[in-house]
Structure formats: structure tokens, C-alpha cells
């Protein structure tokens, strides 16, 4: 739902996971947290931020378009979540990666 789909999700993640696995979401969430040490929700956020990184670097999308594509309520919400996970702003991350790419091209 995060990495292989460019459309907004039709169902929320908890319903999707429960349906695919055939278990109650609360049961799955508790089991997941015990095994992985993080919640399913945090795991999903981490993967969404990885997708944001990919889109910032390789696509010509602005943060608002990325936030819409990944079903965030706003670009500001996405930016705040990105900063919590990476400790960088999306703009700084993009500039850092673009600078690194340019340096490699100059070699």
C-alpha cells in the first residue's frame, strides 16, 4: 500500500492488514509490538517516510503532492513526521541528496 501504489488507499491500514492476515487488528498489533518492539503504526510511518525520501529524490513532486499521494492531511503534517523520523526537514534532505548526487557526477 505504501511502496507499490500511486493512488490513495481505499481502506485504512488496520483494516487492510486485518483482512489480509485474517486476524483482529488488536491481536496483530500486540503480537507485532512484542516481536518488533514498535507498533504497527510506527512501522508504517517509517516506511511512508522511506517512500517520501524516494519521491523527494527521484520524482519531480513537491511536498504537497507527496503528502496527497501518501494520504497525509497536509504537507505540514508530512514535514513534521519526516523531521521526527529523520531529524531533517524534507527540504534539507532533498538538498543534501542532490548535492551528493552532483558531487558523484562531477567525479
Domain boundaries, the chain: 13-106
Dist CA 2 CA 51 (whole Å): 7
Q: What is the pTM of this model?
A: 0.77
**More confident of the two residues 13 and 23:** 23
DSSP state at residue 70: T
> In the 8-state DSSP scheme, what is residue 87?
S
CB count, 10 Å around CB of 29? 17
Name the grid cell of 38. Answer: 514498535
Residue 22 — very low, low, confident or very high, per pLDDT cuts 50/70/90?
Answer: very high
Give the class (CATH, top level) of 13-106: mainly alpha
Backbone angles phi, psi at 17, to 5 degrees: -65, -45
In the prediction, which pLDDT does 79 show? 96
Stretch 64-84: mean pLDDT? 92
- Reported as a pLDDT band with limits 50, 70 and 90, residue 12 is confident
Amino acid at each position: 500500500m505504501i511502496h507499490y501504489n500511486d493512488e490513495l488507499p481505499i481502506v485504512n491500514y488496520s483494516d487492510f492488514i486485518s483482512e489480509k492476515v485474517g486476524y483482529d487488528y488488536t491481536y496483530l498489533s500486540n503480537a507485532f509490538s512484542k516481536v518488533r518492539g514498535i507498533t504497527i503504526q510506527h512501522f508504517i510511518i517509517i516506511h511512508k517516510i522511506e517512500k517520501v525520501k524516494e519521491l523527494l529524490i527521484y520524482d519531480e513532486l513537491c511536498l504537497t503532492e507527496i503528502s496527497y499521494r501518501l494520504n497525509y492531511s497536509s504537507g505540514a503534517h508530512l514535514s513534521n513526521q519526516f523531521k521526527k523520523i529523520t531529524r531533517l526537514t524534507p527540504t534539507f534532505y532533498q538538498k543534501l541528496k542532490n548535492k551528493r548526487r552532483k558531487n558523484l557526477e562531477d567525479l
